[in-house]
Chains A and B, each alone.
Chain A
Amino acid sequence: MMPDLGKYADAVLSSYAVSILLILALVAVSVMRARKVRAELDEVEKRSRRNG
């Protein structure tokens, strides 16, 4: 299944590894911050409604 990458295997595999890791990290950071800010805003909005 794995293609024969010959003498350039290190270059090709490291390119894919670096890129996929960076993309996954970017997605993870974006999703985590989105959830965190959403939860914090909900709390602040609730508090400000309570306090009028």
Chain B
Amino acid sequence: MASLWEYANPKKFIQTTDRLLPWLSVLAAITLVIGLIWGFFFTPDDFRQGSTVKIIYLHVPSALMAINAWLMMLVASLVWIVRRHHVSALAARAAAPVGAVMTVIALATGAIWGQPMWGTWWAWDPRLTSFLILFLFYLGYIALWAAIENDDTAADLTSVLCLVGSVFALLSRYAVNFWNQGLHQGASLSLDKEKNVADVFYHPLLFCIAGFVLLFVALVFLRTQTEIRARRMRALLARERLG
């Protein structure tokens, strides 16, 4: 089996992901469509929350991806800091807009869900606030990459920002456990079956989560390929200008 570090070679990364991308994209689309249709059309209303429970199929997977995208960026940034593999820095850069969109979906669906259930679109609740800060970190991270011309310097500085932002990524995951206050309920998914949502909501939710994960991976592969090509283009253009 090939060593993981082989994929730090841009050519090898593009070759491998080119083969995987069509399958991943189709699988992501099928899983997502099945999960959303199942959840929207074929699940009952909740006895307390009525039909708003159907928002769970978008809110929970997008919130999960918002946090995990940042954690993926953290791992990629650490690989860049320790081993100086350009592909890992570019993968972190590629994941940021995807994570930011997932955060917006989580915040928007949360606000829309919160209005009828809590009587307010927004509250300065620990989980909501840490999610908003996480979104601001995403924007800062994307802006920092765009603001610095030298790719290596940009990768260094954004990696440090990513390390700092990880505190908020973890906080947004565990905020409800740290502070037992605020409007947001505890985690919808748990290894403890007693604390989990009912099976009738749980199974389509798993499909939606799988769909969001596959979509994230497919988008990160595609966008990393683009970043690798854009970097090569910048290098060739710089060489042209010199000679």
Measured CB to CB, the residues of A under 8 A from B are 1, 3-9, 11-12, 14-16, 18-19, 22-23, 26-27, 30-31, 33-34, 37-38, 40-41, 44-45, 47-48, 51
Contact = CB atoms under 8 A, between A and B. Distances in A.
A16 B108 CA distance: 10
Nearest to A25: B101
A30 B222 contact: yes
A15 B233 contact: no
Contacts of B133: none
Find the residue from B97, B109, B239 having the highest chain A CB count within 10 A.
B109
B151 interface: no
**Contact-size category for B:** 35 or more
Given A11-B113, A12-B55, A41 B40 contact: no
B82 interface: no
Contacts of B101: 22-23, 26
B120 interface: no
A8 B108 contact: no
21 contacts: A1-B41, A5-B54, A6-B51, A8-B51, A9-B51, A11-B52, A11-B55, A11-B113, A15-B58, A15-B59, A18-B109, A19-B58, A22-B101, A22-B104, A26-B219, A30-B226, A33-B223, A34-B222, A34-B226, A37-B226, A38-B226
B45 interface: yes
Find the residue from A8, A26, A38 having the highest chain B CB count within 10 A.
A8
B105 interface: yes
B240 A48 contact: yes
B223 A34 contact: yes
B171 to A, nearest CB: 24
B51 A48 contact: no
A34 B109 contact: no
Closest 9 CB pairs of A and B: A5-B51, A19-B58, A34-B226, A15-B55, A15-B109, A41-B233, A8-B52, A41-B229, A8-B51
Contacts of A44: 233, 236-237, 240
Contacts of B225: 34
Interface in B184-243: 215, 219, 222-223, 225-226, 229-230, 232-233, 236-237, 239-240
